[in-house]
Amino acid sequence: MKLSRLQAFSDGVFAILITILVMDFKVPDYQTGHLLAAVIQQWPVLAAYILSFMYIGILWLFHHDLFSVFAQIDRNVNLLNLLMLFAITLINYPTALLSHTLMHYQRTDLQVAFISYAVIALFISLTFLMLYRYLRQHPELKSARVSPQLFATISYDPLRSMVIYLLSIIATFFSVELGALLLVGGIIFHFYAYLHLSRRITV
């Protein structure tokens, strides 16, 4: 399989996932004449949608910059990429958990939702780590444009975000607020990692 086809397929999955997320944004149950109150009470659905749209958007940008590092791909890269896409499609589930539990605001349920989200995020970062590792062990797949030093620096990024998500999971047991902060922080960290990567690689 050619690299361009893997990218096109992945782009498709990203585009579909980021768009179907909005389908959780349904008309609320409301009494005739009281739609406004029902719409306002739906703010958690919007909040969870914004978070996941941002997260998937950054993952998409990251995925592209990552695959611009490849000169060619082999079968294992293909399988690792499918594993990564699998992990990313799962985001749909904790996003829904988050918007539901934020509406009722019960502490134990919120912990379940935030920990689920962080576990999926941890899994996603793990698949990025696996791809980086594989690329490091197979320099023949690497594009000549990327310097070894830069690559060594970048490849620690998934590890760093995994630590943040792990801390978020642990923190949520004691304080939902701190856990949530770390989770959102981890996603913002991805954003900075992307800016960092895109500045150094000329694609």
Which residues sit at the interface with a second copy, rule CB under 8 A?
A: 1-2, 5, 7-9, 11-23, 25-27, 30, 32-36, 39, 50, 53, 57, 60-61, 64-65, 68, 75, 78, 82, 85-86, 89-90, 92-93, 96-97, 100-101, 104, 106, 108-109, 112-113, 116, 195, 198, 203
Residue with tokens 């594009």: 143
Residue 20 or 159: which CB sits closer to a second copy? 20
CA 120 to chain centre: 8
The answer to whether 99 and 24 have CB atoms below 8 angstroms apart is yes
Residue 73 or 171: which CB sits closer to a second copy? 73
**Closest approach of a second copy to the CB of residue 38, in Å:** 9
The conformation of residue 138, written as its DSSP 8-state character, comes to -
Q: How far apart are CA 78 and CA 93, in angstroms?
A: 25
Residue with tokens 């950054």: 58
Residue 65 or 163: which CB sits closer to a second copy? 65
Residue 10 or 168: which CB sits closer to a second copy? 10
The conformation of residue 26, written as its DSSP 8-state character, comes to P
The residue type found at 85 is: L
